[in-house]
């Protein structure tokens, strides 16, 4: 990590005579040590460091843009278990680094000599950064009292949003219940948060809350729970927010971006409202790139990673959750009622472990099986066949009006993939 910091510092020094960087991280046990090593590497090139301690990843992106620094760095493994950790880079506009910049840094690191690591790195942090982020979030609401008295359950996943929740709830005068909001590092994402939304759903129902908001470890995702504790994913959030923006005259053109894994029900429900859905590849970077290329505002993933480029540059769970709460409050109706027109198609997901990843269109047997599935689905369904970007898996997603049919088609296709390239 010190080598990463050193090479990042070298890169920033080449780009600016007075380079600076914003850094924050989540609540994992390894985050302070990794951050300290990164800071030591940056100090070798006299980089000005703005360190905010525990900060959600979208806060790092926002502050990087607001403060006009050369880069932002978030130390986090997002929704993964506590033993994992990772690093995310943002450019001066608060956008995730381009693939070219990432490759350039990787090449520099590979050619660099290993660094000596300090066992006890010094971490001088500033609480001003988290306050600046909270001010930004609350400033986006219609008024300081827009959510006053609203009963909300927050599931912090013992992660990066948790240090901010008390102040947010107090300033908004919420009737709030916080769960999984006592981070000790060891239990981040463990049976809580957006990877286990049923837990927040039960808390929402039990406490008689109007809605529940459940986040992942670094706070760039959120799922929403209704008063009965039912989970509503990113597709539901996109439907609700897109409809609100359209009715307010703020969705111009009337089109959003969703990934290839979104449910066909989203397309149908929004089409009935006069809103088009453009599809892109999987991943938040793909969503943002598609929004920018098409000059659109709103997009996201089923995982709850939602981006509104009119407000911010990347997915932000707290921002999204508070905006959803404001939409529900302003409507005067329960969340479940606002989503009644959104009917999801049955969807089947299958993973096949593979021994290699040849281009899928290069295997005639797989292509033939694919054509047969698509012919059986016709216009009433769809197939998404792709490799995982991080694991030796082929992923099959089939959607259609009849569950029995798509289950049979999924078995048919996965059997062929297993026979051809299965591990």
Same fold, 2-125 and 140-338: yes
The pLDDT assigned to 18 comes to: 85
pLDDT at 140: 98
- Model pLDDT, residue 116: 67
Q: Which two tokens stand for residue 91?
A: 């450019």
How high is the pLDDT of residue 130? Answer: 96
Candidates 32, 76, 24; CA nearest to 216 is 76
- pTM score: 0.90
- Asked about 313 being catalytic, the answer comes back as no
Over the stretch 155-211, which tens digit does the pLDDT of each residue have? Answer: 999 999 999 999 999 999 999 999 999 999 899 999 999 999 999 999 999 999 999
**Which CATH number is associated with domain 140-338?**
3.40.120.10
Given this model, what pLDDT does residue 211 score?
98
What's the CA gap between 52 and 262, in Å, rounded? 35
Spell out the residues 6+ positions from residue 247 whose beta carbon is closer than 8 angstroms to its own. none
CATH of region 347-421, choose from 3.10.50.40, 2.40.50.100, 3.30.310.50, 3.20.20.60: 3.30.310.50
3-state secondary structure of 34: helix
Q: Angle between the 128-139 and 57-67 helix axes, to the nearest 10 degrees?
A: 90
Strands (E), 186-343: 211-215, 222-225, 231-232, 255-259, 276-280, 298-300, 306-308
Per the DSSP assignment, residues forming a β-bridge with 74 are 24, 88
Whether the Cβ atoms of residue 331 and residue 348 lie closer than 8 Å to each other: no
What gap in Å lies between CA 354 and CA 125, rounded to an integer? 45
Residue with tokens 């959030």, as numbered in its chain: 237
Query: Do the beta carbons of residue 180 and residue 157 sit within 8 Å?
Result: yes
Candidate list 16, 30, 76, 78, residue with the active-site label: 78
Sign of CA dihedral 356, 358, 359, 365: negative
CA distance 389 to 335: 34
The string of DSSP letters for 376-400 reads HHGGG-EEEEEE-SSSSEEEEEEE-
The C-alpha atoms of residue 33 and residue 40 are separated, in whole angstroms, by 11
What are the extents of the domains in the chain? Answer: 2-125, 140-338, 347-421
What topology does CATH give the domain 2-125? Alpha-D-Glucose-1,6-Bisphosphate; Chain A, domain 3 (3.40.120)
Q: Which residues of the chain have pLDDT under 50?
A: none
pLDDT score of 119: 55
């Amino acid at each position: 990590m010190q080598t990463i910091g050193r090479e990042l510092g070298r890169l920033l020094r080449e780009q600016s005579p007075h380079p600076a960087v914003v850094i924050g991280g989540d609540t994992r046990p390894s985050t302070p040590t990794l951050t300290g090593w990164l800071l030591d590497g940056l100090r070798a090139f006299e980089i000005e460091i703005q360190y905010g301690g525990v900060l959600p990843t979208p806060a790092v992106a926002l502050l990087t843009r607001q403060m006009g620094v050369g880069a932002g760095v978030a130390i986090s493994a997002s929704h993964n278990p506590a033993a994992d950790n990772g690093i995310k880079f943002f450019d001066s506009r608060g956008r995730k680094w381009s693939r070219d910049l990432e490759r350039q840094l990787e090449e520099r690191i590979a050619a660099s000599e290993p660094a000596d690591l300090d066992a006890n790195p010094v971490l001088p942090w500033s609480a001003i950064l988290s306050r600046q982020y909270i001010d930004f979030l609350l400033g986006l609401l219609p008024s300081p009292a827009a959510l006053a008295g609203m009963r909300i359950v927050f599931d912090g996943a013992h992660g990066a949003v948790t240090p901010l929740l008390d102040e947010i709830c107090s300033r908004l005068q919420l009737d709030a219940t916080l769960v999984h909001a006592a981070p000790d590092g060891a239990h981040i994402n463990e049976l809580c948060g957006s990877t286990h939304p049923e837990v927040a759903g039960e808390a929402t129902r039990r406490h008689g809350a109007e809605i529940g908001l459940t986040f992942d470890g670094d706070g760039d995702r959120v799922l929403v729970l209704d008063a009965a504790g039912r989970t509503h994913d990113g597709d539901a959030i996109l439907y609700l927010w897109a409809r609100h923006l359209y009715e307010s005259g703020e969705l111009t053109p009337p089109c959003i971006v969703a990934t290839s894994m979104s449910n066909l029900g989203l397309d149908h429900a929004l089409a009935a409202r006069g809103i088009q859905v453009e599809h892109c590849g999987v991943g938040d970077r793909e969503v943002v790139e598609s929004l920018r290329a098409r000059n659109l505002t709103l997009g996201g993933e089923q995982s709850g990673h939602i981006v509104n480029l009119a407000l911010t540059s990347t997915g932000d769970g707290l921002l999204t959750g508070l905006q959803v709460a404001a939409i529900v409050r302003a409507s005067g109706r329960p969340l479940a009622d606002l989503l009644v027109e959104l009917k999801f198609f049955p969807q089947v997901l299958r993973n096949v472990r593979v021994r290699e990843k040849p281009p899928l269109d290069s295997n005639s047997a797989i292509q033939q099986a694919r054509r047969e599935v698509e012919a059986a689905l016709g216009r009433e369904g769809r197939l998404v066949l792709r490799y995982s970007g991080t694991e030796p898996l082929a992923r099959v997603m089939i959607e259609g009006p009849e569950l029995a049919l798509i289950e049979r088609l999924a078995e048919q296709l996965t059997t062929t993939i297993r026979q051809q390239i299965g591990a």
